[in-house]
Amino acid sequence: MSPRITPDADAEELRSVVRDFLARYGDAEVVLGQAATGQSWVRELWRRFAVELGAVALDVPEDAGGAGAGFREVAIVAEELGRSLVRSPWFSTAVLGVGVLLEVTDATELLAEVASGATTATLAYREDYGDDDPAVVRTTAERDRHGEWFLTGRKTLVVEGATADVVFVVASVEGESTLFAVDGAAKGLERTPVRALDPTRQLAELGFERTPARLLGDPGDARPVLDRVLDRAVAALSCEQAGGAAAALDMSVAHAGTRLQFGRPIGTFQAIKHRCADMAVHVEAARSASLWAAAAASDDQAALPAAAATAALVCGEAYTWVAAETVQVHGGIGFTWEHPAHLHVRRAATSSALFGDRTRQRESLLARLGI
């Protein structure tokens, strides 16, 4: 049976609650302020979002302290955060961190802490800026005579890596990819924020110098876990991109309806009409692709790799194109720092390379289709 694609009534109610919360605590003024200062939500706002809205534990089983919902609900939060662009530890924690913890069986206490919002988390797997292949693992793990594990190496482009309370790290044990948990305050952990194009999503480079770590699972079993977690992350990111594209379109249509030239709203001119119509086509394509990815992540794991790769391509290209057109529709003001249009351009560009660029996603899709 094919998975249900569209969200149900309860999921749409969640959308309304999240959108109202973000309209109050993540509006354009807040986002521009974050972009200027490099700050995230204060802990109290994060606690309210994580606990009162339950936004972190949506697809965590009830017996583990979660809501027992599915990935569709996760996708809705991702979409709404994509519309807002507010910086928070949600993606790193609820998508990457929870994704790892749902795959392992020996970290139930940590899952409960993360699901409650008390502990933020992230995943560090990428070794080099120019190499996004998860099979490349140069960071090494060694065990001392007391049975304790220590990591040595570097990771880059770690989402919220400078602030996460716990970092899940992929390291090599005798040439085999293995998963570890590292405390954010661990000795030998160096965290350096990366100055990226997108100021609303903090990235970091992490250095490990005999850093104490906790083994998750068994040595050598990280690769299939990492593949599933990254498919989940790409699906969530595609929903975020679809939300961002929709917000950029709404912004453009609103501006076209109120900005006057020659005594008429610019939206009455054919050139602007066609731009907005083309943007709407891209937004609907992104929405369709992201809905498929979310449905596959929720109900059809076998289809998820192809669905996630497809969504990455469609949503990435749509968001990049719509964000650029938004700046054009706004004219001169769209190029200024004071207007949020440029933030969508920045987010679109950074997101498209976060888990592999379009070339890599095309190769991944073809491989998964057996072509």
Residue 279 has pLDDT above 50, yes or no: yes
- Percent of the chain topping pLDDT 90: 80
- For residues 274-295, average pLDDT: 98
Percent of the chain clearing pLDDT 70 (strictly above):
97
The predicted structure's pLDDT at residue 65: 87
pLDDT at 112: 94
Task: State whether 301 and 349 are in the same domain.
Answer: yes
Q: For residue 3, is it within any domain?
A: no
Tell which wins on pLDDT, 125 or 1.
125
Burial 130-149 (b: 16+ CB within 10 A, else e): eebebeebebbbeeeeeeeb
Is residue 327 a contact partner of residue 363, using CB atoms and an 8 Å limit? no
pLDDT per position as a tens digit, 26-74: 989 999 999 988 888 788 889 999 989 999 999 999 998 899 999 999 9
Residues contacting residue 8 through CB under 8 Å, at least 6 positions apart:
72
Please, how many CA atoms are within 13 Å of residue 98, restricted to the half-sphere of its CB? 32
**Is there a single domain that holds both residue 276 and residue 189?**
no
Residue 114 confidence class, pLDDT cut points 50, 70, 90: very high
Judge whether 302 lies within some domain: yes
Per-residue confidence (pLDDT) for residue 1, from 0 to 100: 47
**Stronger pLDDT, 9 or 307, i.e. the higher one:** 307
Q: Report angle CA 15, 226, 182 to the nearest 5 degrees.
A: 90
Strand partners, 183: 166
On whether both 64 and 133 belong to a single domain, the answer is no
Token pair of 335 as six digits:
């190029």
**One domain for residues 297 and 245:** yes
Domain count for the chain? 3
Domain-ending residue, one of 97, 119, 141: 119
Q: How confident is the model at residue 10 (pLDDT cuts 50, 70, 90)?
A: confident
Please tell me the predicted confidence (pLDDT) of residue 97: 98
DSSP character string of 77-91 = HHHHHHHH----SHI
Give me the pLDDT at residue 266, please. Answer: 93
Q: How confident is the model at residue 18 (pLDDT cuts 50, 70, 90)?
A: very high
CATH number, domain of 112, equals: 1.10.540.10
Helices (H) and strands (E) in the chain, counts: 12, 9
Digit-coded pLDDT (tens) for 130-181? 666 787 899 999 999 999 999 999 999 999 999 999 999 999 999 999 999 9
Q: Using one digit for the tens of pLDDT, what is the confidence trace for 237-250?
A: 999 999 999 999 99
Domain boundary among 95, 119, 143: 119
Check whether residue 273 and residue 363 sit in a common domain: yes
Query: Taking residues 325-353, what's their average pLDDT?
Result: 94
Give the confidence band of 6 by pLDDT, cuts at 50, 70, 90.
Answer: low
128 with 111, same domain: the answer is no
Q: Looking at residue 321, which CATH number applies to its domain? A: 1.20.140.10
| 59 shares a domain with 85 | yes
Say if 144 falls within a structural domain: yes
The verdict on 279 and 315 lying in the same domain is yes
Same-domain check for residues 113 and 127: no
Band (320; pLDDT cuts 50, 70, 90): very high
Instruction: Give me 25's structure tokens.
Output: 């605590």
Instruction: Tell the residue number behind the tokens 């609900």, with chain if given.
Output: 73
C-alpha torsion sign, points 313, 204, 159, 38: negative
What span, in angstroms and rounded, lies between the C-alpha atoms of 115 and 320?
A: 32
Give the three-state DSSP class for 61.
coil
357: β partners: none
> What CATH number corresponds to the domain at position 194?
2.40.110.10
| End position of a domain, from candidates 221, 254, 281 | 221
For the four alpha carbons of 40, 44, 45 and 49, in that order, the dihedral sign comes to: positive
In a domain, 211, yes or no: yes
Question: Are 210 and 235 in a shared domain?
Answer: no
Cα–Cα distance between 197 and 200 in angstroms, integer? Answer: 9
Q: Is the dihedral of CA 216, 219, 225, 230 positive or negative?
A: positive
Enclosing domain of residue 198: 122-221
